[in-house]
């Protein structure tokens, strides 16, 4: 019996890479994805171990590339995609108080439209589950990065809507992480102060987010659910993005 096949978008590195590794360790073969040509992080390849993996390039802002991705994965592996993890995101800080139309279009294309198209493509070829990576800010949005926030809110609503539209064949759920893998904009002291602001006084780890994805991948009685993995951040209304806090 062949191993189930998972496609994880944005999985050459960072959080998507952790998710791909966790799925491989749990028995999946994995289709890695990047928006631009390049090699996956060696840490990801080592973590995948003996599972089969293949790497695919598709610009999720290009509708034709999005439409071709699931068929390309199924063709190369010679079987259907069982699990889709919509992890890839467009994240751009808006220069002005409100995002320009071009910024809204770019964010919605990658963060909402592409996941929708990929999910329906998975359903069309007999897949079983979709997990969308959201953001804890959807619970209490703030004024920063409005285009990104609106697109993630749209993906959260698409999660619930697709869960009903694709039932009973496909389950659609979401994971909403908090600040998980900090960029170079943060220093260690700021991260300690941010952790102290969380109800659980800690920030989530990439492996904890990956474990939540794995749980929902196999949660056969759950659909339309959103699991927050954020140290409790989704329970608190923060006035600004984390990068502006705890300095």
CATH classification of the domain holding 29 = 3.40.50.720
Domain count along the chain: 1
Kindly state whether residue 139 falls inside one of the protein's structural domains. yes
Structural domain containing residue 228:
5-184+204-235
With a cut of 90, say whether residue 213 has pLDDT above it: yes
pLDDT in tens, 103-122: 999 999 999 999 999 999 99
Provide the pLDDT confidence category of residue 99 given band limits of 50, 70 and 90. confident
Reported as type and span, the H/E element at residue 120 is helix 114-124
Q: CB under 8 Å, gap of 24 or more: what pairs does 51-56 form? A: 51/3, 51/24, 51/25, 51/27, 52/3, 52/77, 53/20, 53/24, 53/29, 55/12, 55/31, 56/31, 56/32
The pLDDT assigned to 229 comes to 98
The pLDDT assigned to 1 comes to 66
Kindly state whether residue 110 falls inside one of the protein's structural domains. yes
The pLDDT assigned to 224 comes to 98
Provide the pLDDT confidence category of residue 56 given band limits of 50, 70 and 90. very high
pLDDT in tens, 11-37: 999 999 999 999 999 999 999 999 999
Q: Which residues are catalytically annotated?
A: 148
Considering the entire predicted model, what is its pTM? Answer: 0.96
Kindly state whether residue 190 falls inside one of the protein's structural domains. no
Kindly state whether residue 20 falls inside one of the protein's structural domains. yes
Kindly state whether residue 29 falls inside one of the protein's structural domains. yes
């Amino acid at each position: 019996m062949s191993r189930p096949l998972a496609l994880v978008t944005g999985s050459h590195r960072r959080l998507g890479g952790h998710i791909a590794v966790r799925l491989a360790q749990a028995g999946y073969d994995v289709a890695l994805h990047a928006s631009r040509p390049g090699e996956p992080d060696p840490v990801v390849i080592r973590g995948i171990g003996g599972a089969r993996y293949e790497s695919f390039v598709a610009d999720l802002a290009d509708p034709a590339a999005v439409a071709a991705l699931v068929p390309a994965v199924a063709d190369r592996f010679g079987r259907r995609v069982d699990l889709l993890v919509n992890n890839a995101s467009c994240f751009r800080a808006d220069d002005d108080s409100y995002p320009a139309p071009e910024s809204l279009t770019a964010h919605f294309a990658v963060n909402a439209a592409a996941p929708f198209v990929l999910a329906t493509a998975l359903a069309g070829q007999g897949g079983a589950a979709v997990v969308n990576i959201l953001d804890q800010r959807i619970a209490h949005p703030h004024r920063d990065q409005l285009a990104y926030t609106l697109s993630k809110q749209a993906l959260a609503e698409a999660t619930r809507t697709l869960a009903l539209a694709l039932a009973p064949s496909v389950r659609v759920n979401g994971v909403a992480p908090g600040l998980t893998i900090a960029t170079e904009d943060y220093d260690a002291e700021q991260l300690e102060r941010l952790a102290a602001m969380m109800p659980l006084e800690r920030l989530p780890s990439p492996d904890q987010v990956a474990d939540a994805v794995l749980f929902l991948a196999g949660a056969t009685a759950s659909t339309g659910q959103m699991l927050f993995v954020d140290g409790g951040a989704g329970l608190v209304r923060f006035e600004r993005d984390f990068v502006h806090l705890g300095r």
